[in-house]
Structure 1
């Protein structure tokens, strides 16, 4: 059985945040300055609602950590970390419209408080701001990495639209979706930190591999938490993915092992969308019968091992040790 770990008194993420506090303060100052608009006050209103909602800022921290791990002495990592956060925030605004979400990080979504048009247009504004920040670093390679990541994220979201309610969706398609919508920004965040630090190509590749594997593990765990997390901890209701008919990894594994009766259940609830009282509990029971949750967690652990292996190619220092602990922590959220 999957249980959740809720003790966050001093997690690896907290320790990394403390170590990078000075850089993160500069990132926050830059974010507040760049999300301002003289002519459209709704832009900072909507952006502040999400940016200041108490998120851990994991993705920008990965950029800062990658640069500092390689002893980068400059300031462009701050601009790139803000860029990464703007891209992430823009995708959240758009995702909540697509998913018709009503809650994000335990608070009402921007599309609920304002409207869909505001969320989409402010997301577009943040994408534009992110490209302005990229250009200011003067690195064409950084621009290439983050532009490609932005395109990959959009591609992953569109693929998910077509695959989410199709029981033919298998683990390879799921991985493609996750690489697009989640891991692409993790890997870009770490990779640009290495590029801006002028690291050797092998180290830049190692940073990419770490971010890619960490992002995949992170999304698998997020999908697991949807079926066994604590609402106050993850900021959403348990079973949201089931109610939204999303084929995430635990369900894909259960579908692959289903008998005829179980498959009929998945067709009715996921493909057709005919969900009734007690269906979530039945879905959980089917997944438990086939060990789907435990199998998905094992996959996440495999990706964590790949992330940790990539770190061995990087300088051994305090930040590398923190990134190593962070990889373990991602899966420790479900124990």
Structure 2
């Protein structure tokens, strides 16, 4: 059922996150040590649940953004380590909560925490990680950084509730959906990229530029994730093709296919998404309709659009290895569909 999506920009075929990984290697080693330390607890189930997800193989892109955007503006202290760890804990907490809300059984190719320990433990351990994140923010002592990250936490929660309000509703518009992913996904990318320059003591215009970079990178990242659900491989994405379809999730490829379809095709989408009729045969038909109306390619084009805005945010900055690596991340995020 995989779908091959050709990208117009051949340079994306060589896109890699490795330059960012290499530049942040020493910092991420310290972040990883702090993650293990702060995920510890005398309550045995807390580190068990936390480490199950923390060790599941994610690239930890968000904390790398915090390390990179602090270092590229000359920061030499250690506050960015605690802020990067806070960002990762916020992300991990939202994943634990998401899997409960979405009733997901698989994440990054592994059973979700909720399927092993139950929904209650997943929610409560997520709350523990959020608490630890805020403790580290306070230890840093930057009110601006605390404001940015705490605001992001509120926005993410709002996005979760907004997603519930549009769940399994085929009348959801593209603007509605973009509002959801801007809050649920892009807000944390934006915050991760902004707190780096905050601790580096940059001016407001630089902070704003990095926030724009993170926000638009996050939008591109999520839109490509939407494409991968209908055209990726479980081994690479940690999801089976069609997981969003089976869970009745409204994503942009579905919205575009529904809007462009005939009356009969729109009824199919309503029965599938709203009515829960989502067996393998209907998934095959859904993939056919998504292909018929070019919904995956159009979703990729929108991701490329936000990637261009992210690149424009970096454009005025001096040419450094950090800037080059952050540009590479944009290409990497979009090139995942190859």
TM-score between the two structures when normalised by the length of structure 1: 0.96
Please give the alpha-carbon distance, in whole angstroms, between the structure 2 residues aligned to 1:105 and 1:276: 22
Out of 138, 152, 161, the residue aligned to residue 135 of structure 1 is 138
Q: Do the aligned residues in 2 keep the contact of 1:206 with 1:310 (CA within 8 Å)?
A: yes
Out of 288, 294, 301, the residue aligned to residue 291 of structure 2 is 288
Compute the displacement of 1:11 (Å): 5.4
RMSD: 1.6
Residues 115-149 of structure 1: per-residue CA shift (max 9 Å, x gap): 11111110000000000000111111111110110
Please give the alpha-carbon distance, in whole angstroms, between the structure 1 residues aligned to 2:69 and 2:4: 32
Q: Which residue of 2 aligns with 1:118?
A: 121
Q: What are the within-5 Å matches in structure 2 for residues 111-260 of structure 1?
A: 111-260=114-263
Compute the displacement of 1:164 (Å): 2.3
Please give the alpha-carbon distance, in whole angstroms, between the structure 1 residues aligned to 2:307 and 2:13: 22
SS for the counterpart of 2:241 is: coil
- Tell me, yes or no, if structure 1 residue 108 matches structure 2 residue 111: yes
Out of 265, 270, 273, the residue aligned to residue 268 of structure 2 is 265
Q: What are the within-5 Å matches in structure 2 for residues 3-152 of structure 1?
A: 3=5, 12-38=16-42, 40-152=43-155
Greater Cα shift, 312-321 or 90-99: 312-321
Compute the displacement of 1:315 (Å): 2.7
Compute the displacement of 1:313 (Å): 2.6
Q: Do the aligned residues in 2 keep the contact of 1:53 with 1:105 (CA within 8 Å)?
A: yes
Please give the alpha-carbon distance, in whole angstroms, between the structure 1 residues aligned to 2:180 and 2:299: 16
Please give the alpha-carbon distance, in whole angstroms, between the structure 2 residues aligned to 1:239 and 1:276: 10
Q: Do the aligned residues in 2 keep the contact of 1:4 with 1:333 (CA within 8 Å)?
A: no
1:208–1:46 CA distance, 2 compared to 1 (3 A): same
Compute the displacement of 1:9 (Å): 12
TM-score between the two structures when normalised by the length of structure 2: 0.95
Please give the alpha-carbon distance, in whole angstroms, between the structure 2 residues aligned to 1:164 and 1:332: 28
Aligned residues: 332
Please give the alpha-carbon distance, in whole angstroms, between the structure 1 residues aligned to 2:334 and 2:144: 32
Q: Do the aligned residues in 2 keep the contact of 1:209 with 1:307 (CA within 8 Å)?
A: yes
Compute the displacement of 1:94 (Å): 0.7
Runs of 4+ in 1 over 4 A off after TM superposition: 8-11
Gaps of 5+ in 1: none
Compute the displacement of 1:163 (Å): 0.6
Q: Do the aligned residues in 1 keep the contact of 2:163 with 2:180 (CA within 8 Å)?
A: yes
Please give the alpha-carbon distance, in whole angstroms, between the structure 1 residues aligned to 2:282 and 2:221: 27
Compute the displacement of 1:274 (Å): 2.4
Q: Do the aligned residues in 1 keep the contact of 2:58 with 2:108 (CA within 8 Å)?
A: yes
Q: Do the aligned residues in 2 keep the contact of 1:3 with 1:229 (CA within 8 Å)?
A: no
SS for the counterpart of 1:216 is: helix
Please give the alpha-carbon distance, in whole angstroms, between the structure 1 residues aligned to 2:71 and 2:319: 12
Q: Which residue of 2 aligns with 1:317?
A: 320
SS for the counterpart of 1:127 is: helix
- Tell me, yes or no, if structure 1 residue 279 matches structure 2 residue 282: yes
Compute the displacement of 1:67 (Å): 0.4
Compute the displacement of 1:267 (Å): 1.0
Q: Do the aligned residues in 2 keep the contact of 1:216 with 1:303 (CA within 8 Å)?
A: yes
